Amino acid sequence: MYQTLYPVFEQAISIFTDIRFTIGGTVITLAAILQAIFLFLIIIFLARGFKALLRKHLLSRLGIDATNREAIATIISYSLAILSFLIILQLTGINVASLAVIAGGLGIGVGFGLQSITKNFISGLTLLTERKLKVGDFIEFSGISGYVKEVSLRSTLIRTRDGGDVVVPNSELVENHILNWTYDSYIARIKVPVGVAYGTDPALVTETLLHVAYQEPTVVHDPAPRVVFQGFGDSSLNFELWVWVTRIDDEPFIKSALNFAIEYNLRQHQIAIPFPQRDLWIRNPEALSLIGSRQTSVASSASTGPSSPIPTTQVPALRDFLRQVPYFHGFSDLELRQLIEIGYRKRLQPSDILFRENDAGDAFYIVLSGSVEVFVEKLNKQLAILSAGQFFGELSLILGIPRTATVRALEVTTLFVINSKSFSKLLQNYPEFYNVIFNELCKHQKELEERQKQLRELGLLNPDEDDKNPIVWVRKRLKNLFNL
């Protein structure tokens, strides 16, 4: 069989070697051209791998920032790819100098046919060298806003707030006006409009809005927040709160937090937020009173007896449930809203195990509906049944101690959950929470001593934070556990 196929292969190879082209006095075979194309594809593949290796490993070890890594890796990888291709052309017998004849002849045609690609290529070099747009920058243009994820020679990848990736040709970024919010810093100003009812003291409004601004942890104090009286609206006095924030890319969340705080504080000072109103003037009020008396008499004659009120059942709010927890008892409505915002709902089916004994105490739970059973598996002993409005696990979350029992759902149950990660972020952003919770913990010194002893027996107590005084131990543990 080998003897049969060998002549066929030999004849096929001879076809590729016999077909020749003469370019600029240099004879090139079809085999050399195919070999050059094959090696060119390999070079592209290796160049991409080398670019990723440079960007993610070699340059990062040198301490170069992400933007410079991207620019350096792109330029080096493309330069090496072009140099390697020219060397391969020479090794395959293709004289590079002879290709100048073809390049000159096709230059005009390529210029017109590939002008868009060439334009984007040059624009990519411009972006990489000038570095007006860098990887990680938050930009806005043509109705698109997002983070620069990657800058290549032909296009730029932008990751939107919604998680989508937009591929933008580099020429559009070079030729159009781009708003780079983070060119040299993430600090920028946002404006929050506020309207209050006529008759409100503008000084009180200014004081209230500035109080809100200084209480928000994402607002910087230099430049200082300002309140601008915009003018007199149809139904309100119009103000704007101007604040400089640490992360302009978090503008929607910062505005939301400020709006919540503004509404709460205006309500505390009994400052009304108006809505459009119109006055109705009646020329003949006596005619209206006559119509009203007739309708009243008709309604009285049609009545068949006293109406009974429709019974309504009001579902308790999660805010009211949170207030029943001793550690959150003194929280204001605004602080409770922040607790509600960091939590999430968890649904359990009957017999689902939520956690077991000795599991990490990394979450706090409130039963919104249904019921759960708390029991000790080893002893097969039931400790309690918790229903809607009751809570558990708050001490395990705050002190980071293991669970002492197993919890299982008795029916379809919905829980409100605050986990350790969200709780840590809340304490870091709002130091006043730490003081309130610490002061509440200090009221239960006996229970703290028992928990400290339990951790010591299990070998889970860090020697650096251990102390004979449980209050001192709690302070150290909270700071270590939540990086305060």
pLDDT tens for residues 423-472? 888 777 777 777 777 787 777 777 777 777 777 776 767 777 777 777 88
The verdict on 370 and 431 lying in the same domain is: yes
Decide which of 61, 85, 113 is a domain's last residue: 113
Q: Give the mean model confidence (pLDDT) for residues 341-365.
A: 88
pLDDT tens digits along 277-290? 666 767 766 665 66
Residue 168 to residue 175: CA distance in whole angstroms? 12
The answer to whether 389 and 323 are in contact (CB under 8 A) is no
Confidence label for 66 from pLDDT (cuts 50, 70 and 90)? low
More confident residue, 213 or 118: 213
Residue 316 makes CB contacts below 8 A (sequence gap 6+) with 388, 389
Tally the residues of the chain: 484
pLDDT value at residue 44: 77
The verdict on 101 and 160 lying in the same domain is: no
pLDDT tens digits along 387-410? 988 888 888 888 888 888 899 999
Q: Give the domain CATH number at 476.
A: 2.60.120.10
Residue 416 to residue 317: CA distance in whole angstroms? 12
Query: Could you tell me the residue range of the domain that residue 454 belongs to?
Result: 318-481
Could you tell me if residue 300 is inside a domain?
Answer: no
Q: Give the mean model confidence (pLDDT) for residues 320-333.
A: 79
The verdict on 340 and 444 lying in the same domain is: yes
CA 57 to chain centre: 26
The verdict on 435 and 330 lying in the same domain is: yes
Strand pairing partners for 219? 245
Question: Tokens 């002061």 identify what position?
Answer: 439
Could you tell me if residue 302 is inside a domain?
Answer: no
Peptide bond into 223 cis (omega under 30): yes
Could you tell me if residue 310 is inside a domain?
Answer: no
The verdict on 243 and 338 lying in the same domain is: no
Lowest mean pLDDT among 4-13, 163-172, 220-229, 326-335: 4-13
pLDDT value at residue 241: 94
Angstrom CA distances, 409 to 9, 130, 357, 390, 443, stand at 73, 61, 15, 14, 32
Highest mean pLDDT among 34-38, 248-252, 391-395: 248-252
Q: Give the domain CATH number at 170.
A: 2.30.30.60
Decide which of 180, 197, 216 is a domain's last residue: 180
Could you tell me if residue 430 is inside a domain?
Answer: yes
Flag whether pLDDT at 189 surpasses 90.
yes
The verdict on 450 and 380 lying in the same domain is: yes
pLDDT value at residue 197: 92
Question: Tokens 């020329």 identify what position?
Answer: 283
Whole-model pTM?
0.58
Lowest mean pLDDT among 25-29, 81-85, 452-456: 25-29
Strand pairing partners for 408? 353, 373
Which among 363, 361, 386 is positioned nearest to 373, based on CA atoms? 386
Could you tell me if residue 295 is inside a domain?
Answer: no
Question: Tokens 């927890």 identify what position?
Answer: 325
Residue 340 makes CB contacts below 8 A (sequence gap 6+) with 318, 319, 322
Question: What total number of domains does the chain contain?
Answer: 4
pLDDT tens digits along 103-123? 555 455 555 555 666 677 677
Confidence label for 97 from pLDDT (cuts 50, 70 and 90)? low
Could you tell me if residue 245 is inside a domain?
Answer: yes
The verdict on 43 and 137 lying in the same domain is: no
pLDDT value at residue 95: 60
More confident residue, 324 or 311: 324
Residue 88 to residue 319: CA distance in whole angstroms? 72
The verdict on 372 and 237 lying in the same domain is: no
Which among 36, 43, 42, 47 is positioned nearest to 99, based on CA atoms? 36
Strand segments, DSSP code E, in 72-225 are 138-141, 144-151, 155-160, 165-169, 179-180, 188-196
More confident residue, 166 or 295: 166
The verdict on 354 and 468 lying in the same domain is: yes
Lowest mean pLDDT among 176-185, 416-425, 450-459: 450-459
Could you tell me if residue 67 is inside a domain?
Answer: yes
Residues above pLDDT 70, as percent of the chain? 74
The verdict on 87 and 148 lying in the same domain is: no
pLDDT value at residue 299: 47
Residue 368 to residue 386: CA distance in whole angstroms? 10
The verdict on 261 and 362 lying in the same domain is: no
Flag whether pLDDT at 88 surpasses 60.
yes
- Report the chain's mean pLDDT, rounded to a whole number: 77
Decide which of 268, 291, 310 is a domain's last residue: 268
Determine how many CB atoms are found less than 10 A away from the CB of residue 5.
9
The verdict on 6 and 83 lying in the same domain is: yes
Q: Residues 115, 121, 123, 129: is their CA dihedral positive or negative? A: negative
pLDDT value at residue 313: 47
Could you tell me if residue 47 is inside a domain?
Answer: yes
Strand pairing partners for 244? 189
pLDDT value at residue 298: 45
Residue 211 makes CB contacts below 8 A (sequence gap 6+) with 265
